[in-house]
Amino acid sequence: MKDAVVIVNPHSGKEGQSELVNAISTHLRQFFDKVVPYVSKDAKDVSDIARAAREEGSTAVFVVGGDGTVSRAVRGLLDGAQDDEDLPILGILPGGTGNGFARVLGIPSAIPEALGEFNPTRKRRIDIIFANGTPYIYTLTGGSLPEGIREVPSKDKTRLGFLAYVASELQRIGDNEQHRLRISVDGRSREEKVNSFVAFSSNALVNLFTDQADAAIDDGLIHLLVLKDASLPALLSLAPDVLRTSIEDNDHTLYMHGTSMRIECLEGNLRCGMDGDDGPCLPVSLNIKPQRVSAFYGSQSTM
């Protein structure tokens, strides 16, 4: 029997989702013999529900939420699983504010549209990166600019949605605080003064900035973009290179990729963000498990 579990985060995005939960369950019963919805109580609950779904042999786990909720569900799917153990297929119904990973998978940003075009035959394996042993699905960030995402209050996420993130980021433009980092990629190290960095997991977003990467969600590589200088003149100088998808040509940026990385802060302390939430403090070691999770993707995917 094919069964699906639906995990809903009611605190991400718009409130009042009880009717939506019923609509989701009703629609998914066209494809699954049994659909069991859960409204999570907190972050740990998301992981616990996902882990229980795996242990009970569920066919699929659908997550209604943003990147952080999806990431916590994936941690639950992997928690205690053997490397060769089959996992439930991951489904995403965007219910957060940024929904970056859903966009990478080509899933419409509105839940009714995402449900309407859902096709259970559209699925593929995606890479998962582990940061100090903890898996994440989208981005690991550090530095001045990404801090804005993590500092948006939950009530503002709910009330303002994506605009809350945009306003927070705009307030930080020109903040050129730098950190001296040692970055090691596949054993080769370099030291740089860095304002911000993003380590991409399971996505091809890096292809928007450089045509040298040819990144894919299952290419088995970790992709790292580094912004060395975030002063307003430096940011303005990036615009032509971004338009040409040749950001690696700009003196204020670095692009690196490999199968393992280690990032260390040589002066002071620096906390990372992981899928929009608080992550580990540096140093952080990144390793990848290629094609570890299967996920449903949407019709808008370019994969």
d(CA 235, CA 203): 24
pLDDT of res. 225: 87
Fold entry, domain 139-290: Tumour Suppressor Smad4 (2.60.200)
pLDDT of res. 220: 87
User: Which letter does DSSP use for residue 208 in this model?
Assistant: G
The CATH class for the domain spanning 3-121 reads: alpha beta
Residue 10 and residue 45 in contact, taking contact as beta carbons nearer than 8 Å: no
pLDDT of res. 227: 86
pLDDT of res. 112: 92
Instruction: Check the CA dihedral 88-72-260-243 and report its sign.
Output: positive
pLDDT of res. 13: 43
pLDDT of res. 244: 53
pLDDT of res. 160: 40
pLDDT of res. 58: 98
- 283: preceding bond cis by omega (within 30 degrees): yes
Residue 210 and residue 179 in contact, taking contact as beta carbons nearer than 8 Å: no
**φ, ψ (nearest 5 deg) of residue 77:** -60, -35
Q: Which residues of the chain have pLDDT under 50?
A: 13, 150, 152, 154-171, 243
Instruction: Check the CA dihedral 246-252-254-255 and report its sign.
Output: negative
Q: Do the domains spanning 3-121 and 139-290 agree at the CATH topology level? A: no
pTM, entire model: 0.85
pLDDT of res. 276: 82
The residue extents of the domains of the chain are 3-121, 139-290
pLDDT of res. 285: 98
Which residues, in sequence order, are CB contacts of 133 under 8 Å at separation 6+?
none
Which residues, in sequence order, are CB contacts of 250 under 8 Å at separation 6+?
237, 238, 241
List Cα–Cα distances, 109 to 84, 90, 135, 158, 177, in angstroms: 32, 17, 24, 15, 34
| CA-angle at 302, arms to 297 and 303, nearest 5° | 65
pLDDT of res. 20: 85
